[in-house]
Structure 1
Amino acid sequence: MESSTLEVPFLLANQSEGCMAADATAENTLFGVFYILVFFLALNGNGLALWIFSHQRGASSPANVFLFHLAVADLCYVIILPLRASYHLTGGHWPFGEVPCRVAGFLFYVNMYASLYFLACVAGDRYLAVVHAVRSLKVRRARSAHIISLCLWALVTVSMAPLLLSRQTAEVDGVTVCRQLYREKASRRALVSLAVAFTPPFLLTLTCYLLIIRSLRRGSRLDPALKMKALRTIGLVMLIYVVCFLPYHASRATFILGYSHPDVSCQTRRGLSLANRLTSSLTCLNGALDPLVYLFGAEKFRGTVRRMFCRDEAGISAATSGELKGTHESSLSAKSEF
């Protein structure tokens, strides 16, 4: 999808070399702290989600299947965030070697594009559940959702596989840099990759959202609680697109079109490069925001989290009042109702 954008040319023209100034200390510190915070938020949220989804009893809904695979994609990327943080906190130096650099770039793009398509699948499932509730019963099966998910994993993995085969580290001014973190290639061919990877899931999600809104405004017979669930889920998905993915792809397109232009000044090139790095870091936020989609989009997930917190609150209240027996009985009652 965008593997070709990562073959960074480090033998630049003299003018371009002058624009690639060393990263400021403040910038690197902010990036490093940001990745550490996102790491802890995403690790806890998606780890809890994966545990809940894998321990659910009974038949799973298609939405839950897609959300399970989304949590797997997030965790695959979360594990390399400490490496990105270390890179910035050491002043833009990559001390981990060639293979970890390749894996970091590979997982970055696998997570981003797998997340885009799994979120689109969640939106599509909500559309079928709201607009075609009866007719879609035969289509909306957990087995079909698993097949679709496996196909998406295969597509994304194969598309990004070249990143694992090409060299991704280089020496710049006596410092080892990881190319995906240093500066991505300003290739016009990357515009095609951006369009193919981002546009279809974005348009699918947006279309589903608009069709759901139209259906609800026309007086859908769907239960009001299910209506709100659908609106919250699609709204959160669109929020993740707007906050995490849209800025990056808009910035990448601007970077590709503007960086290599002969009339662009060094200061402008520096600004385009910084904007690309900033928006690239924003894509990591989807790992911290996705648990909100699980919370509002998966009934069993929300019920399990609610019971966990209610149980904790009940335990604290019982400890202060001395009514431990009553708390135990109420906890057992809550379990039996789920």
Structure 2
Amino acid sequence: MATSNSSFHANNSDECHGDDCLCWIHLNYKALDISTFSFYLFFLLVGLIENIIVIWINWRMRESRKESNLYIFNMAIADMCAVLFIPLRMTETLYNYQWIWGSILCKFDSFFYFVTLYSSIFFLACFSVDGYVSLRYPLQAQGSRDQQIRRMVCVCMWTVAVLLSIPQFIYVETLGTVYIYCFAKNMLFLNVTGSLTLLFGFIIPLPIIMVSNVFTARAVKDSSNIESIRTRKIIYAYIIAFLLCWTPFYIIVFLSLFDVFLKCAVYQLVYYLYDLVECLTFSHCVLNPILYNFMHKEFRYHLTASVVKYMPKRYVKEDDNVSISSETKHIVVIT
């Protein structure tokens, strides 16, 4: 983990000693661990299934979907990588935040967490901007030159995410003899990392995502049909989901940067909640597939076609009124 919260968590119990009693507040760490583990388990099971489906369908429909969905495909890859490292954190929670996986996985766990954090947010911001540009300038947005630009942007986003996360691999390490924990103890590193995460993960992307989506919603407002209203609701759901997934985490990150100025009770509460809100950031791995894929008719259309294609013939029947895809060469409906 990127903070010293692992050691803070392990060294606290239900009793206080000496001067600590002056500001001691009772915090139920057992309930916190159970809640954190339960959330991790949910995000692992649901996020794994959802992102596998999203990657599979987006890869199959890569020729037919608009090029801007390249950002959604890359975001799904980032979310999948994040989900695959959840079991390490689940085990860490079970062992009272002791690290049993060795030094290399300790570094990779923190490194990949921040790579997926940055990249997922970056691709979300790119998709938001591209959605507005494509709506305002539809002909230009589908040109081959613009498609190449999108691919270059994706490469740049991954590169920036990796570069911002390299310090995690360098400074995060396993510490301790009898009880081994995975964290970084260098306070300068923690402050710099927290500031960079707050800046590139929230302060910069948030206005980009909000402004782009609001402008997109206003651009489709001219039409009063049901589909237009539904589209605007989905667009506003993008903003709400982003705020729900990331705001609690970045509030804690912001407060941790100024922990020396916090009252003792607030200081304890901040680090008490740190692991839980960090866990809850994985909610984007569950919400992103729903909002950016499953809620759209085109994706559900291709998902149905892909499922039907691999179903035994006895479960499907022909229907002259419904066309699934050119790839199936015939018309089928699930019975």
TM-score range, shorter chain: 0.7 to 0.9
Secondary structure, counterpart of 1:165 in structure 2: helix
| 2-structure distance, mates of 1:170, 1:9 | 10
Structure 1 position 64 matched with structure 2 position 69? yes
1:264 matched to which residue of 2? 263
* Normalised TM-score (structure 2): 0.79
> 1:93 touches 1:175 (CA, 8 Å); kept in 2?
yes
Larger RCO of the pair (alpha carbons < 8 Å, separation 6+): 1
> 1:52 touches 1:304 (CA, 8 Å); kept in 2?
yes
- Residue from 146, 169, 175 that aligns with 1:164: 169
Structure 1 position 329 matched with structure 2 position 318? yes
| 2-structure distance, mates of 1:86, 1:7 | 18
Q: CA 1:98 to 1:228, structure 2 compared with 1: closer, same or farther past 3 Å? A: farther
Counterparts in 2 of 1:161-200, with a 5 A limit?
Answer: 161-171=166-176, 174-179=178-183, 187=191, 190-191=194-195, 193-200=197-204
C-alpha deviation, 1:278, in angstroms = 2.2
2:281 matched to which residue of 1? 283
Residue range with higher mean Cα deviation, 276-285 or 95-104: 276-285
| 1-structure distance, mates of 2:257, 2:24 | 16
C-alpha deviation, 1:232, in angstroms = 4.8
Superposed CA RMSD in Å reads: 3.9
2:14 matched to which residue of 1? none
Q: CA 1:166 to 1:251, structure 2 compared with 1: closer, same or farther past 3 Å? A: closer
Deviation string for 1:106-146 (max 9, x for gaps)? 11111111111111111112212323334544488433222
Structure 1 position 240 matched with structure 2 position 229? no
> 2:43 touches 2:283 (CA, 8 Å); kept in 1?
yes
* Normalised TM-score (structure 1): 0.78
C-alpha deviation, 1:304, in angstroms = 1.9
Deviation string for 1:63-113 (max 9, x for gaps)? 321011011101111111011011111222111111111111111111111
Deviation string for 1:150-174 (max 9, x for gaps)? 11001110111122222422228x4
Structure 1 position 216 matched with structure 2 position 220? yes
1:76 matched to which residue of 2? 81
What amino acid maps onto 2:110 in structure 1?
A: G
Structure 1 position 37 matched with structure 2 position 42? yes
What amino acid maps onto 1:190 in structure 2?
A: G
Counterparts in 2 of 1:143-154, with a 5 A limit?
Answer: 143-154=148-159
5+ residue gaps, structure 2: 12-17
Secondary structure, counterpart of 2:191 in structure 1: coil
> 2:6 touches 2:97 (CA, 8 Å); kept in 1?
no
Q: CA 1:86 to 1:8, structure 2 compared with 1: closer, same or farther past 3 Å? A: closer
2:207 matched to which residue of 1? 203
Secondary structure, counterpart of 1:163 in structure 2: helix
What amino acid maps onto 2:270 in structure 1?
A: L
Percent of aligned positions with the same letter in both sequences? 18
What amino acid maps onto 2:171 in structure 1?
A: S
Deviation string for 1:248-301 (max 9, x for gaps)? 1122112222x212x622x32210112322221111111111111332576542
C-alpha deviation, 1:328, in angstroms = 3.1
Structure 1 position 88 matched with structure 2 position 86? no
> 1:62 touches 1:140 (CA, 8 Å); kept in 2?
no
What amino acid maps onto 2:163 in structure 1?
A: V
| 2-structure distance, mates of 1:241, 1:287 | 11
> 2:3 touches 2:190 (CA, 8 Å); kept in 1?
no
Residue range with higher mean Cα deviation, 246-255 or 183-192: 183-192
What amino acid maps onto 2:237 in structure 1?
A: L
5+ residue gaps, structure 1: 319-323
Q: CA 1:308 to 1:10, structure 2 compared with 1: closer, same or farther past 3 Å? A: closer
Q: CA 1:117 to 1:233, structure 2 compared with 1: closer, same or farther past 3 Å? A: farther
Q: CA 1:107 to 1:19, structure 2 compared with 1: closer, same or farther past 3 Å? A: farther
C-alpha deviation, 1:35, in angstroms = 0.6
Q: What count of residue pairs does the alignment treat as equivalent? A: 316
